[in-house]
Structure 1
């Protein structure tokens, strides 16, 4: 990383650590009770790591992004974090227990209910479309195609990172790999801050003190998607969107955890740094 991008990464990490300190203080108070959850291993965790990451990643992304992408970074990070936080809280209500995944959201709509997840999907989709307009290239049919790709990448990556947040550190590790691989080029400074913020939260996530939840995972994923949407080659963007879409559809039928646990390399990476059973 260049000195400038290193500075943004450090800023993101420091902001995330400060946010975690505030989250820890709030978790111990009555106001933090609604953010408490029990994770897959039966251990108590706080979802307040998500808002801490969302704020740090969004602020540092908007600070580091190229001029033409700053407003878009602020929009997608903020909206994805807010509606993700809403889903973290409202989605925990008993009546929303079955409203999970695309099939669950559609079933709720057919029953005349709007699930918290559907609100989140609509909010992130709208923010992604706004970001596509804010970062549009050229005009005419070409601009429409680029806009569709940008909207799909922002919304799709936000959802995909959230789908990975099923084990400690899994979503964070994936985000670190994507951010690190896209640091180069004119738009790389956009993900320097989110990279640092993710690394700042990762020890607490791996230590099972916090979870990213929808607020953290959706905001982080939306910012990564915005970076992918800034890649110059349209063919690369189209291939990335196809991959994100395929993985999302596969998640409705296949367990990511089962695939990871049965795949050497992925299994070891997934377990790296995690607490023992």
Structure 2
């Protein structure tokens, strides 16, 4: 328990330090859903704090590398999209829109983010597979592919959830709660601490996670999920993630939350009225 608390403290302190360091940095102000001006600083703060503390608690060099690659890689390309994604030359709607822009000769920040998150997830999954010898070539390839799907899928899902202050962090806490009691607790304690460190600023609408924070937080939880499951478990997780992602194209998560009393109350907890 003391080690778990130490990792959570490390994550929180690192995230708060980065958040303070970015205070007042120009070019990070954005408008949130309410029309208020907030800073993008919570994104890199969460990405760095969560990645460093997850690596510290990973328990092995391959798992530590997977945490750093997934968290910092996803956070970096997410931050790039946060910063330049609003420019006219980068605007496109959905994956098809980004591919359409590519056919026109434009490489959008969204496409860079998609490719970057996928590459980081693949590298992280390969590092995790290095600690699971004896599966054979086909088994290893399948294991890496499924793990990459889980990590990138979780990163994308949390990005889809990050439409209201605190929502992605609360969802992450629900996902991480059972993991914190298992053998992957070292991988999730730090990210939970980092998330708690930026939560007051997120709920208070002083800073927002953006793609940097949501992608990194989701990717790190994906690493923890992939680390504790075998091929069958990863396949089940990937199917669930794919289903939720497909559903998001047809159904608004915000509307579902608003129509469900328990989810509505949890979603609004701590948020400004």
TM-score range, shorter chain: over 0.9
Aligned counterparts of 1:203 and 1:177: Cα–Cα separation in 2 = 18
| Structure 1 residue 233, shift from structure 2 partner | 4.1
| Partner residue in 1 for 2:104 | 111
| Partner residue in 1 for 2:239 | 242
| Structure 1 residue 271, shift from structure 2 partner | 0.6
Residue by residue over 1:92-115, the C-alpha shift from the partner in whole angstroms, topping out at 9 and shown as x without a partner, is: 112333x13223222322333221
Aligned counterparts of 1:58 and 1:131: Cα–Cα separation in 2 = 12
Q: Kindly indicate whether residue 226 of structure 2 is the aligned counterpart of residue 232 of structure 1.
A: no
The CA RMSD measured in Å over matched residues stands at 1.4
| Structure 1 residue 193, shift from structure 2 partner | 0.3
| Partner residue in 2 for 1:82 | 76
Contact in 2 for aligned 1:180/1:195 (Cα 8 Å): no
Moved over 6 A (4+): none
> Superposed, which structure 2 residues align to 1:51-200 within 5 Å?
51-67=44-60, 68-97=62-91, 99-136=92-129, 137=132, 138-200=135-197
Structure 1: state its 5+ residue gaps.
none
Residue by residue over 1:8-39, the C-alpha shift from the partner in whole angstroms, topping out at 9 and shown as x without a partner, is: 01111111122222222xx2xxxx33210111
Q: Kindly indicate whether residue 15 of structure 2 is the aligned counterpart of residue 16 of structure 1.
A: yes
| Structure 1 residue 177, shift from structure 2 partner | 1.5
Aligned counterparts of 2:40 and 2:104: Cα–Cα separation in 1 = 29
Aligned counterparts of 2:30 and 2:220: Cα–Cα separation in 1 = 26
Aligned counterparts of 1:102 and 1:251: Cα–Cα separation in 2 = 13
Q: Kindly indicate whether residue 215 of structure 2 is the aligned counterpart of residue 221 of structure 1.
A: no
| Structure 1 residue 143, shift from structure 2 partner | 1.6
Residue by residue over 1:60-118, the C-alpha shift from the partner in whole angstroms, topping out at 9 and shown as x without a partner, is: 01111120301111111111111111101120112333x13223222322333221111
Aligned counterparts of 2:230 and 2:140: Cα–Cα separation in 1 = 14
Equivalences, count: 268
Contact in 2 for aligned 1:129/1:147 (Cα 8 Å): yes
Aligned counterparts of 1:95 and 1:39: Cα–Cα separation in 2 = 22
Q: TM-score, normalised on structure 2?
A: 0.94
